[in-house]
Structure 1
């Protein structure tokens, strides 16, 4: 399992909040990263709407628009990974338990009865890679497998929708509000002072787990700072520490994807989604402890503990390019190279 460096030091850290608040609609008064202007220009030339960089919890670079909310798209998945770490701390689930322990209708279904929660969060459950509009929770349970669990990386919405159904049933069995969004807000977002402007529901009226959360760059950065601090708030772990570290441990089918978070690792995975980020092609110039939450339209949350950095980039989703299959021209390596001078 990959270990973040200096984890013990992080556990002693408290999150910085008020020190980096930006007045509504304003950019930072001082840009302390030499590549700040170049990185903002690069982002804006590719439909970017906001860039915010925190260095040791304080603004080092900011564009206008960091208070304006935008959908995270699949950046929502990485939020759900943090919610899973909270659920482990609460004793609701474990990563390696069989999904069929909760989805009892799978108990006698070959292969599906071998799926674990870890498989769902790592996109190795065997469900097809059908990127697009997710089905509802119940309908997702009936999606047939195309690979044996644990053998292939297939990125899509179905595994996270199934996780939503598992969390819903776990909460209900424990006598709690069964709404996964309510749990995420009560258990994680509200304690961190993170405001979600909206969260889209699926066709079943349940909150989407693989996409749909809407927040500003400033709010998303709070989540990044929480990750950078090792899951600690006010000196106390807010989520299970071992599970948090497991989020950043790649799988054998795709070392560049942990449990809902992307990693700068070489990978044998050849799918289009993995190819959409060039951090997997880095030759060592990217910090190896960097982790990435990524969404359609090149929404990005980079966390680089060794550099004390949390970096948010948000953009308009160009649906014409998505529908036509046209590449956005975005390069994580080029953006980070401009910003960090590497």
Structure 2
């Protein structure tokens, strides 16, 4: 397999209109870069238009909900340091400021693992555009107290029963890291994960209250996103405990046939990954010795096929050949 073959596959997919709004893709197979492409197009910083951008290896890009997967890595680092609760521990025990909520036995049954697996059983809806206050994540960011907003949502079902996509779960996890370490999540990320990986340029968007958006706010270059994936493929090196990666990236709750969720990571047959609005994708496959990072600009549209086409029609057929 040659890089030219993959470049040709990608060019054909682009000519056929199969990969609209592709901003960047990098794939590393068996330690070698097999595809690296940078495009151009309209981009946004969350909901703020940035205009027409020509993307390069140095261009910061929203990774949107891949941020959640990186928060999971930071949780594992803090857990190894004894700074955050074990997954089985009661969640509200570590939010004593909401003692009134803990009086509800249904809420007191919540554990950290329910946040890690997005099985809190609370009413939460992110199936409307992220430009609307009807979206629970946006409503959380608009709330006077985002953590109370999450924890006081009506109880919809027994925790641990069903996966419901929930940016609030990621916000709770980041807050536990901040409580335990005494550092803002963005500072902890810089010191314990990103700078040790050689990532010196990044941004973490914050809400109006100055709190970093743990569900969707991280901005990385495509090579930096790839390095996070390589870290996962390499078992965490000396930065993230291998034991945490093993449990975080394995299936814990079923989303659909062949599609599961771990601890803020998606999991399928032979792969794990982080997904973000617009077509952001971090794909890691140990059996294939493959890491792929994709940035795209299909924000807030119903179908966002670009990243999946890049994987399914360009990269994976060549790697498996």
Count of matched residue positions in the alignment of Structure 1 and Structure 2: 276
Indicate how the Cα distance of structure 1 residues 164 and 138 shifts in structure 2: closer, same or farther if over 3 A, else same.
Answer: farther
Cα deviation for residue 40 of structure 1 reads 5.7
Q: Please give the secondary structure, in 2, of the residue aligned with 1:311.
A: strand
Consecutive unaligned residues of structure 1, counting only runs of 5 or more, are: 1-29, 265-287
Structure 1 CA distance for aligned equivalents of residues 5 and 161 of structure 2: 44
Label 1:205 to 1:186 Cα distance change in 2 as closer, same or farther (>3 A).
same
Contact 2:26 2:294 in 1 (8 A): yes
Question: Deviation of residue 247 (structure 1)?
Answer: 1.1
CA–CA separation in structure 2 for the residues paired with 1:165 and 1:195: 23
Structure 2 residue 183 is the aligned partner of structure 1 residue 182: no
Distance (whole Å) between structure 2 residues aligned to residue 139 and residue 129 of structure 1: 11
Residue 58 of structure 2 is aligned to residue 67 of structure 1: yes
- Contact 2:19–2:307 (CA<8 Å) still a contact in 1? no
Calculate the TM-score normalised by the size of structure 1.
0.74
| Structure 2 residues without counterparts, runs of 5 or longer | 39-55, 131-137
1:249-276 alpha-carbon deviations (Å, 9 max, x no partner): 2224436111111112xxxxxxxxxxxx
Deviates more, 1:72-81 or 1:144-153: 144-153
- Is the aligned partner of 1:97 residue 2:89? yes
Structure 2 Cα separation of the partners of residues 253 and 309 of structure 1: 24
Q: CA deviation at 1:211?
A: 0.5
* Residue in structure 1 matched with residue 163 of structure 2 by the alignment: 153
**2: distance between equivalents of 1:88 and 1:327?**
37
Relative to structure 1, the CA distance from residue 114 to residue 317 in structure 2 (aligned partners, 3 Å threshold; closer, same or farther) is same
CA contact (8 A) 1:55 1:310 kept: yes
* Residue from 106, 122, 131 that aligns with 1:111: 106
Measure how far apart 1:181 and its partner are. Answer: 1.5
Alignment equivalent of 1:293, drawn from 249, 257, 274? 274
Match status 1:231 vs 2:212 = no
Alpha-carbon contact 1:40-1:51 (below 8 Å) kept? no
Instruction: Kindly indicate which of the two structures has a greater share of residues assigned to strand.
Output: 2
Change (3 A) 1:55 1:88: same
Find the partner of 2:154 among 122, 136, 144: 144
Kindly tell me: are residues 256 and 140 of structure 1, through their superposed partners in 2, closer, same or farther at Cα, counting changes over 3 Å?
A: same
Instruction: Pick from 262, 268, 290 the counterpart of residue 266 of structure 2.
Output: 262
Residues 189-268 of structure 1: pairs in structure 2 closer than 5 A: 189-232=194-237, 237-254=238-255, 256-264=260-268
Residue aligning to 1:86: 77
- Distance (whole Å) between structure 1 residues aligned to residue 158 and residue 71 of structure 2: 24
Following superposition, the deviation at residue 293 of structure 1 comes to: 0.8
